[in-house]
Amino acid sequence: MLDYDLASVQEARNLARIASEAQKWLDEISQQEADRLVYALVQAADVNAKRLARMAVEETGFGIYQDKVIKNQFASRNVWSSVKDVKTVGVIYEDRDKKIVEIAVPVGVIMGLVPSTNPTSTVIYKAIISLKSRNAIIFSPHPSAAKCTFAAAQVMQEAAVNAGAPGGVIGCLSKVTMEATESLMRDQNVSLILATGGSGMVKAAYSVGKPALGVGPGNVPAFIERSADIKQSVANILRGKCFDNGTICASEQAVVTEECIKEQVMDEFRAQGGYFLSQKEVKQVCGFLFDDRGGMNAASVGKSPEVIAQQAGIEIPAGTKVLIGEQEGVGVAYPLSREKLTTVLAFYTEKDWHAACTRCIELLNEGGIGHTLVIHSQNEDVIREFALKKPVFRILVNTPSSLGGIGYTTGLVPALTLGSGTWGGSATSDNVSPLNLINRKRLAYHLENSMEQVSSSHGQAVLSVSNHELETIIKRVISRLA
């Protein structure tokens, strides 16, 4: 085992060194060359979307094959559509009035941490945004998804080489150990860490003393307000939560609604495949969902309601899409108030939208602050109040949260790394794009009359101070004479 650990660390060092050499080539390519290179990745990802999706499901046991195909295609097609016309080389902005010119410069070799929940789509997405911004990237897979992540990285690497890039532009650890991952994080050839994964790994990325872009967990409340189209709202929530069995961090985690429409909402959930758990069944399900320390049991991640019910020892109707447990509070005593990357929802009833607003904030503070919230409503005043008051950077309206958050059903930037800002311990609140992976040189010209303005204001300041000093001296002289 010691030999394997040493070999993994050596592999990490070799990958970083080779990527550093490849970075020199990327530094010199044009926008046209970068775009041609990225398009080659998009095409390769599209061809391999189904194979990689099947590998991901088989290796991890998480999610749904068809949805992982969609994720892979989203990470290639939708991301490409978003970035293809974005300038990332040379002059990218010019302000003629202020005489400022901005010039894009690569940040350098990127280390990409890859989660087990989206192991192939994250590779496709990060490879595309990295090469679009002319940065080499090295992937560190999650141990439980090492094979499919490596396979996805190979697809991207081969496409890049066939398009004329040197081999080191895309790399991936084949020997996955904590030692190798830490070695990559700290390697002098790595300039930035792009971290998508568990909070522990993201915190580790921020602790190594170099630039990092990490994301916090999502604990997304979905509020159904009294003016909402209840049937459509429930359909949207189910679509968002059930997509890939809830493995996207922006997926809905709790439904919050008002007393006056509670029964209608519950009836609609039942009609569309929701199963409301008894309090006894909630305890049984929580016993499977969480470990003794309160963390998510990996065996429950991305599982269907049938699997969860079987493991929890309960019976559910055929065709159940999601398990729902009513909760009265938030915190340790109410486990369903936490993030659940699977097909289980918490359910809260509040007196009015003001109380619902407070409940949503409590849920966000329990583990999703800064990330995402979704509101289903036709009342623009309430929608705006939620946007102003909620401590999140994505307030989604009348859309499935998991798909809206990543930019699939909304106009947000298509991305699989969603920053939660300083509230969530992240260096960015953006849906991370190539523009987050460039440095900006600024060319600044002398402005006419600027020195005259400075001189004028400086003279006024000096005169003012001089008068003040003179008044002080006169008062002292008068005082002494008296």
Question: Which residue among the candidates 148, 172, 242, 249 is catalytic per the annotation?
Answer: 249
447-453: Cβ within 8 A, 24+ apart: 447/98, 447/99
Burial class (CB in 10 A: 0-12, 13-18, 19+), 54: middle
Q: What are phi and psi of 170, to 5 degrees?
A: -135, 125
DSSP designation for 445: P
Sheet arrangement for strand 110-113? 170-172, 137-140, 110-113, 192-195, 212-214
Per-residue tokens: 23: 């970075």
Could you tell me the CA-to-CA distances from 199 to 32, 56, 292, 420, 426 in Å, in that order? 37, 22, 18, 12, 11
Please give the C-alpha separations between residue 465 and each of 87, 452, 462, 471, 474, in angstroms, as whole numbers.
49, 20, 5, 10, 14
**Both tokens assigned to 364:** 């966000």
Strands ordered across the beta sheet of 220-224: 274-276, 322-326, 344-350, 252-258, 220-224, 370-376, 392-397
DSSP string, 325-342: EE-S--BTTBGGGS--SS
Amino acid at 234: V
Q: Is 249 labeled as catalytic in the residue annotation?
A: yes
Tell me which residue of 444, 436, 441 sits closest to 86, measured CA to CA: 436
User: Residue 452 corresponds to which tokens in the numbers above?
Assistant: 């005259």
The residues annotated with a catalytic role in the active site are 249
